[in-house]
């Protein structure tokens, strides 16, 4: 006769400590008459509380074969400072023959509970704005009234931050899933704002920070998102419109402007050093036997450019062309036109989606116009797969 069992009906972290209620039974309690609840933080005891049992007829019905199951309920507060708890919490439910809860004992262990957790429920990037919502609960949040969203690049360098004012939103689902974290039922937040220039065209990670500093520094506890692409690309794609909702870059403000065309991405990236400053939808050359009809390599914008052309052999033309190879053979230009100058609907529908040109780089009408009128002769163009 050596059976035992327990169940945690409820658990909540409070400012005074961890409140726990449930039931505990063991055949060994016949000789080990001192029940205790012990709280471990990262495997080390932080405090314990002696238990006083109450009637539990439901437990007696389910575990009638275990000694004293009819008198197995408990509700207790284990006093501790939530702000001193980090990592994982685990409970030991003990019957001991020692009044202090040591000596000979029969132990049962609970699952582990987190003391810091969070989730980014939504990260939405649209035409001009960013919306972020989620929850972040931490025992270290006590005494830290400020919340921030901080955006960092892939190297960890901060790009932008903004204070979260819509915070402490009710989240009953979080209170249920992480009950060992203080105030987890009020851990929701949301923030929306216009995309600032310093974020556009970046892959970023978002930090949700809870801190005691009104500027977002100081003592803090952080929750990190995965990588997020921030761009203001126009969707759905429209060959009659610029590819982005943002204005085209001012080249006079850039110190190392060049153009990158990764054919497989169906994009043209306007670059300043290693930073993307504008992204254009494109259609490059189709593949024959694994080789694109658009030549790969490093080229330079040439002097030849013009408003329109028509190739009778191919049965199509285009507008606003700019040469980058062989002085008028390989071009940046608009999506194709027919012999009467009308844009071809099917070819236009492939912009930014598929390869399909005979070697040139097709663009939207405004994008091609901008390149023709703004990109200087001699600008480097790198084309790769």
pLDDT tens-digit profile of 148-187?
A: 999 999 899 999 999 999 999 999 999 999 999 999 999 9
Cα–Cα distance measured from residue 87 to residue 115, given in angstroms and rounded to the nearest whole number: 6
Of 148, 137, 54, 36, nearest to 96 by C-alpha is 36
More confident of the two residues 216 and 247: 216
User: What is the distance between the alpha carbons of residues 172 and 175, in angstroms, rounded to a whole number?
Assistant: 5
Q: Give mean pLDDT, residues 69-78.
A: 98
Closest CA to 369 of 326, 308, 302, 289: 308
Q: Which of the 8 DSSP states describes residue 344?
A: P
**pLDDT given at position 167:** 97
The span from the CA of 42 to the CA of 6, in Å, is 22
For residues 122 and 131, give the distance between their C-alpha atoms in angstroms, rounded to a whole number.
7
- Judge whether 162 and 216 are in contact, CB under 8 Å: no
Confidence check: pLDDT of 1 > 80: no
Q: Flag whether pLDDT at 360 surpasses 80.
A: yes
pLDDT above 90 as % of the chain: 87
Residue 40 has a pLDDT of 97
What DSSP character marks residue 264?
A: G
Q: Is the pLDDT of residue 63 over 90?
A: yes
The pLDDT score that the predictor gives to residue 233 is 87
Quickly state the pLDDT bin for 127 (edges 50, 70, 90): confident
The whole-number pLDDT of residue 258 equals 98
User: How much is the average pLDDT of 250-273?
Assistant: 95
Determine the distance from the C-alpha atom of residue 261 to the mean position of all C-alpha atoms in its chain, rounded to a whole number: 27
pLDDT tier at 126, thresholds 50, 70, 90: confident
Cα 317 to Cα 339: distance, rounded to the nearest angstrom: 7
The 10 Å Cβ neighbour count of residue 1 is: 8
Q: Is the pLDDT of residue 308 over 80?
A: yes
104 pLDDT above the threshold of 90: yes
Beta-bridged to residue 132, according to DSSP, are 123, 191
- How confident is the model at residue 351, as a pLDDT? 97
Which pLDDT score is estimated for 193?
95
Residue closest to 270 by CA, chosen among 282, 258, 262: 258
SS3 content of the chain, % helix, strand, coil (to 5): 15, 50, 40
Residue 290: what pLDDT?
85
* Res 185: pLDDT: 95
Catalytic amino acids? 333, 360
Residue 25's pLDDT band (boundaries 50, 70, 90)? very high
Question: What integer best gives the mean pLDDT of the chain?
Answer: 95
pLDDT per residue over 320-359, tens digit each? 999 999 999 999 999 999 999 999 999 999 999 999 999 9
Q: What is the pLDDT of residue 191?
A: 97
In this structure, which long-range contacts are made by residues 248-253, counting pairs with CB atoms below 8 Å and at least 24 apart in sequence?
248/278, 248/370, 248/374, 249/277, 249/278, 251/374, 251/375, 251/376
The pairing of strands 380-384 and 257-262 is parallel
Distance between CA atoms of residues 17 and 11, nearest Å: 11
**Beta carbons within 8 Å of 32's beta carbon, 6+ residues apart:** 26, 95, 96, 97, 104, 105, 106
| Vertex 138: Cα angle to 137 and 143 (nearest 5) | 115
Helix (H) or strand (E) holding 345: helix 345-349
Residue 316's DSSP bridge partners are: 311
Q: What local confidence, expressed as pLDDT, does residue 201 receive?
A: 84
CA 223 to chain centre: 10
Q: Are 120 and 174 in contact (CB under 8 A)?
A: no
User: CA quadruple 17, 23, 26, 31: dihedral positive or negative?
Assistant: positive
């Amino acid at each position: 006769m050596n059976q035992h069992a327990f169940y945690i009906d409820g658990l909540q972290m409070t400012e005074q400590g961890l409140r726990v209620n449930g039931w505990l039974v063991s055949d060994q309690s016949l000789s080990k008459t001192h029940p205790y609840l012990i709280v471990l933080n990262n495997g080390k005891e932080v405090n314990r509380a002696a238990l006083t049992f109450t009637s539990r007829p439901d437990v007696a019905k389910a575990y009638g074969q275990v000694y004293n199951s009819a008198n197995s309920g408990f509700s207790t507060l284990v006093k501790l400072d939530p702000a001193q708890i980090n990592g994982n919490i685990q409970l030991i439910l003990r019957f001991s023959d020692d009044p202090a809860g040591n000596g000979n004992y029969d132990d049962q262990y609970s699952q582990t509970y987190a003391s810091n957790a969070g989730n980014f429920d939504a990260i939405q990037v649209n035409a001009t704005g960013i919306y972020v919502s989620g929850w972040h609960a931490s025992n270290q949040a006590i005494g830290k009234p400020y919340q921030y969203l901080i955006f960092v690049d892939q190297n960890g360098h901060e790009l932008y931050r903004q204070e979260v004012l819509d915070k402490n939103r009710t989240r009953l689902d979080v209170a249920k899933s992480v009950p060992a974290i203080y105030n987890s039922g009020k851990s929701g937040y949301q923030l929306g704002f216009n995309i600032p220039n310093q974020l556009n065209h970046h892959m970023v990670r978002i930090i949700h920070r809870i801190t005691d500093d009104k500027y977002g520094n100081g003592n803090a506890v952080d929750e990190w998102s995965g990588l997020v692409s921030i761009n203001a690309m126009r969707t759905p794609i429209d060959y009659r419109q610029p590819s982005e909702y943002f204005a085209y870059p001012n080249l006079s403000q850039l110190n190392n402007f060049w153009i990158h065309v990764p054919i497989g991405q169906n994009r043209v990236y306007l670059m300043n050093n290693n930073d993307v400053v504008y992204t254009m939808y494109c259609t490059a050359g189709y593949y024959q036997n694994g080789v694109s009809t658009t030549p790969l390599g490093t080229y330079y914008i040439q002097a030849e450019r013009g408003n329109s052309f028509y190739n009778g052999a191919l049965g199509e033309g285009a507008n606003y062309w700019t040469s980058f190879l062989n002085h008028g053979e390989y071009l940046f230009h608009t999506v194709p036109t027919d012999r009467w100058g009308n844009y071809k609907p099917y070819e236009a529908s492939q912009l930014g989606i598929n390869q399909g040109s005979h070697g040139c780089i097709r663009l939207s009408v405004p994008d091609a116009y901008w390149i023709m009128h703004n990109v200087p002769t001699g600008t480097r163009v790198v084309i790769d797969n």
